[in-house]
Amino acid sequence: MGASKGAAPNWIETAPAKGSYRSIFKWGDPHAYKHPNAKLVQLLKETFGLGDDHFKVPVSHGNRPVAHGQPSRVITRDHAAAIARIVGDENVSVDDYDRLKFATGKTLEESLRLRQGEVRAVADLVVHPRHKDDVRRLVGYCDREQIPVYVYGGGSSVNFGLWPSRGGVTLVMGTHMNRVVRLNETNQTVTVQAGIMGPDYEGALNDAPRRYHSRHRYTGGHFPQSFEFSSVGGWVVTLGSGQLSSYYGDACDLVVSQEVVTPVGDLKTLDFPATANGPSVNRMMIGSEGCFGVLVEVTLKIFRCLPENRRYFSFVFPSWTKAVEAGREIAQGQFGMPAVFRISDEEETHIGLKLYGIDGTLMDRLMRLRGFQPMRRCLMIASSEGEKRFAGNVKRCAKRICRRFGGMSLTGYPVRQWEPGRFTDPYLRDDLNDYGILIETLDTAVTWDRLHPLHQGVRRLIKARPETLCMTHASHFYAQGTNLYFIFITRAADIDDFVAFQEKILHAFEQFGGSPTHHHGIGKLFSPWLQPHLGDAQMAVLRALKGHFDPNTIMNPGGQLGLDTGGRHWRDIC
């Protein structure tokens, strides 16, 4: 398979038109893109039986100006005027574009619909609160007037978490409430406003000696793929995980305390690292996805920033089974955890080696020579961080285990190839979508003992669809289990066909003992699977909390976490 075969596709490289649908659904920086490389294009052509011609003219681009003219569903002129009096005229908008933009997340489905100019739920009014007093007044007013309140952080939701099923008000947290409140070096914590974005957060911590006169540089340790375009508040309320979470912990491990404005008043939790003072209310708010209130401030653990100690390593295994065994043994080895820690199944390895530019190289030939054959071999990429010898020992112990399970070291090369693109893969989607090829991801948590049946069962389902690629990796490790992250590339007759396929995968997660999601949150999209998964008793507890915090059901109503649907499907509420 030659990388240079055929003409290069005619990828779109111009920024979306201002005010266009494309400017809303396109990932990330309007001027940035990341095209599939030649090897991936070749694979797509082979998979879908496409020729060079297919990649000459995009099948859709969504570059038309937004115009939906949806009537306001809840907000009257009196409401709008009252809200403008709270936050100032310049901080409210009833513009069609804003109402759509801040109602939209980053699911494939939303992207596909917007390409067609298909608009469903939008906010009635977009509001940019200036500070927590604004939020208090807004929530109080909306509660009295029974106006739905939705919250927009970075906009990277992949579960319709921002979808304003019932109209009303959407609060945009990042416009003003985006600052570091204080860095506490003694306690190794930082307090930030919820709307601060990933790079601003991490940048402030890295630059702490200059900005806060601290002794050390710090890191937040939280790097989701959406890092550049997601907010710290979003990480917390959706229970996010970063790519280094095996070492630094998931968002729920990082939150020390928080301040949430709820319809029944402010809730502030305390900054003790551990106490025995009854059930942790702090933990109850994490993952509440805007259903209990608006997170306005959060205090997080931070870590010394020690990039100079980072160590990289990669291995190839003869099979997925061996890669999983090595991963589990490392996670249970009691020498600390790698930071980056990913194992890819056979197909993801196959495609990954193309993406990382390893396929066809000397390293590839060496692998084949040593018996690591395509579509059987599986890749592990990893790094370790922390104190120098700690990081060195993690690498040393992990490598010993990898060898024990038949792995061959590939040096740090593959992980270094992966690293620069670790936040930019979502750009690929727009290119593929432009040419009618669909790519989406779904993730699930799993215990070690259910991993293989789940992987096989879900993969079988996905691969049963004609002309469908399915890449799977585990990327967040625990002694008790991991996650499985499925990336599928397919084509669909229409959006409903895609949605039905996606729902089948969710069913398979439940059927084979996975959870609806490991770190994508539930939102509205996955809400039909939450009650079957958690069971009635746990759901009743969540609804009791909902009833406590939000007696008038104004916070993210209409399906979020399945708390208020009364048995209806969230899609039927809109």
> Counting contacts by CB under 8 A, is residue 455 touching a copy of itself?
no
Residue from 334, 369, 420, 464 binding a copy of itself (CB under 8 A) = 334
In three-state secondary structure terms, 476 is: coil
When the beta carbons of 249 and 407 are compared against a copy of itself, the nearer one is: 249
Which of 316, 371, 382 has its CA nearest to residue 349?
316
Distance CA 421, CA 415 (A): 10
What is each CA distance from 321 to 169, 217, 350, 457, in whole angstroms?
49, 40, 16, 15
Residue from 79, 311, 350, 533 binding a copy of itself (CB under 8 A) = 533
Residue 239 annotated as binding site: yes
When the beta carbons of 56 and 548 are compared against a copy of itself, the nearer one is: 548
What mask, x for binding a copy of itself by CB under 8 A, covers residues 292 to 321?
A: ---------x-xx-x---------------
Report in angstroms how near the CB of residue 389 gets to a copy of itself at its nearest.
5
Q: Which two tokens stand for residue 487?
A: 């990336």
* Contacts to a copy of itself from residues 137-176, by CB under 8 A: none
CA 137 to mean position of chain CA atoms: 30
> Counting contacts by CB under 8 A, is residue 456 touching a copy of itself?
no
Distance CA 184, CA 174 (A): 23
Report in angstroms how near the CB of residue 94 gets to a copy of itself at its nearest.
32
Residue type, 134: D
* Contacts to a copy of itself from residues 392-451, by CB under 8 A: 393, 396-397, 445-449
Residue 240 annotated as binding site: yes
> Counting contacts by CB under 8 A, is residue 268 touching a copy of itself?
yes
When the beta carbons of 54 and 452 are compared against a copy of itself, the nearer one is: 452
| Binding span for a copy of itself by CB under 8 A among 31-39, 464-472, 473-481, 564-572 | 473-481
- Name the pairing type of β-strands 169-172 and 149-152: parallel
* Contacts to a copy of itself from residues 213-242, by CB under 8 A: 238-241
Residue from 82, 252, 495, 573 binding a copy of itself (CB under 8 A) = 252
Residue from 280, 361, 373, 411 binding a copy of itself (CB under 8 A) = 280
> Counting contacts by CB under 8 A, is residue 189 touching a copy of itself?
yes
When the beta carbons of 20 and 262 are compared against a copy of itself, the nearer one is: 262
Strand order across the beta sheet in which 125-127 lies: 92-93, 125-127, 169-172, 149-152
What mask, x for binding a copy of itself by CB under 8 A, covers residues 489 to 528?
A: --------------------------xxxxxxxx------
CB 322 within 8 A of CB 401: no
Count of Cβ atoms closer than 10 Å to residue 187 Cβ? 13
Which alpha helices (DSSP H) does 465-556 contain, by range? 495-511, 530-534, 536-549
Residue 283 annotated as binding site: no
> Counting contacts by CB under 8 A, is residue 328 touching a copy of itself?
yes
Give the catalytic positions in this structure. 485
Distance CA 431, CA 25 (A): 12
CB 520 within 8 A of CB 251: no
Residue 241 annotated as binding site: yes
Q: Which helix (H) or strand (E) covers residue 383, if one does?
A: strand 378-384
Binding residues for FAD: 238-241
